[in-house]
Amino acid sequence: MTGWQEALERQARVRAKAGLTRTLRPRAAGDTVVDLAGNDYLGLAVHPEVVGAAVEALRAYGLGATGSRLVRGSTMPHADLESDLAQWLGFPRALVYSSGFLANLGAVRALAEPGTLLVSDRYNHASLIDGCRGSGAEVVVAPHADPSALATILAARPGRPAVFVTESVFSVDGDLAPLAALHEVTSAYGALMLVDDAHALGLLGDRGAGGVAAAGLAGAPDVVVTATLSKSLGGAGGVVAGPEPLIRHLVDTGRTFIYDTAPPPAVVAGVHAALRIARDADDRRAILRERAALTVRRLRAAGFEVSAPAAGVLSVLAPGPEAALAWAADCRDRDIAVGCFRPPSTPDGSSRLRLTLNAGISAADFDRALDVIVECAP
């Protein structure tokens, strides 16, 4: 074994000792596991209309997009989806990427002009953090969901161009940022606000238009929205929505857009079908709200520390990384899939089970899953 491989092995042993080893677990089609780990909040990934739209586009266009969006990768399904996403989110234009991660990298870097200050919420997703780090701009990490702290940071740098970067519903604990109050601060100081709406799209706001819409900020000229298409819409891809000049700038200069192969037309068509269903899925959103409330009641009654969910994701505190791993593994052995979040995926260094609720699971299976989580606790 060469020197660089030995160095990697040493690092692996350190991670294993700390309980931070990660494992890939391929799943078979049609498995019977009750899924509280994936992000298919509305249960649309296997919806017949969604699958049918994808199959139809697969037959029409073939397996892949065959190129980047600016070469041969843009198809009518891409254009149609972007038009409906812009309308749904309430912004002039939307641009589809092959992942939410790339959409966040592209949006942050596009807004970070020379001299820009980036203010990033402490609990932001890794994609936003990486976008800030790779932008070359000065980055200040702000206390979590704190408008007064944001005002203090911006007031200390008067007249400087600034962008505040946040999630709407945060991806680990599932809490909701006070977007309206934060926007009052950014507006007062002439700053922009970039909101990752990944865990709110399809779940919050009128017709599921997201957390930004729910806060009354849809279409605001100083707000930019990003989201993944892999959660409530059950597919894959990402989107940036905002004013026309921003989208034009991303098409002309955005490296994560220009140099990346376009998402496959079949996936895009399936996502578009899911969007059409999601807009009218108030019944599914009601199921999620009921299940979120039930989960909090049941687990808190059993003595666990549980976050208060704003949408479909919540967390249950574990004693440590090894205990979280064992807890998740015991649940999996009983056919219940739960998320296991450990450092560095958790912003505060605590280990958790992360539960992502799914309206497509039967009531009986959901109740059984909660029983198993309680019974398998370390």
Q: What is the pLDDT of residue 342?
A: 84
Could you read off the pLDDT of 252-299 as tens digits, one per residue? 999 999 999 999 999 999 999 999 999 999 999 999 999 999 999 999
CA max distance for the chain: 59
Residue 343 binned pLDDT confidence (cut-offs 50, 70, 90): confident
Q: What is the pLDDT of residue 281?
A: 98
Mean confidence (pLDDT) of the chain:
96
Domains delineated in the chain: 27-42+282-375 (3.90.1150.10), 48-279 (3.40.640.10)
- How far is residue 20's CA from residue 218's CA, in Å, rounded to a whole number? 40
Contact 338, 37 (CB under 8 A): yes
Nearest to residue 228, comparing CAs of 199, 249, 257?
Answer: 199
Question: In this prediction, what percent of the chain has a pLDDT beyond 70?
Answer: 100
Task: Identify the three-state secondary structure at position 221.
Answer: coil
Mean pLDDT of 171-195: 97
Q: What is the pLDDT of residue 268?
A: 98
Question: In this prediction, what percent of the chain has a pLDDT beyond 90?
Answer: 90
* Prior bond of 245 cis (ω within 30°): no
Q: Please state the pTM of the whole predicted model.
A: 0.94
Sorted by sequence, the CB contacts under 8 Å of residue 26 that are 6+ apart come out as none
Could you read off the pLDDT of 113-157 as tens digits, one per residue? 889 999 999 999 999 999 999 999 999 999 999 999 999 999 999
Could you read off the pLDDT of 241-256 as tens digits, one per residue? 999 999 999 999 999 9
Q: What is the pLDDT of residue 341?
A: 87
- How far is residue 119's CA from residue 144's CA, in Å, rounded to a whole number? 11
Could you read off the pLDDT of 26-75 as tens digits, one per residue? 888 888 999 999 999 999 999 999 999 999 999 999 999 999 999 999 99
Q: What is the pLDDT of residue 2?
A: 82
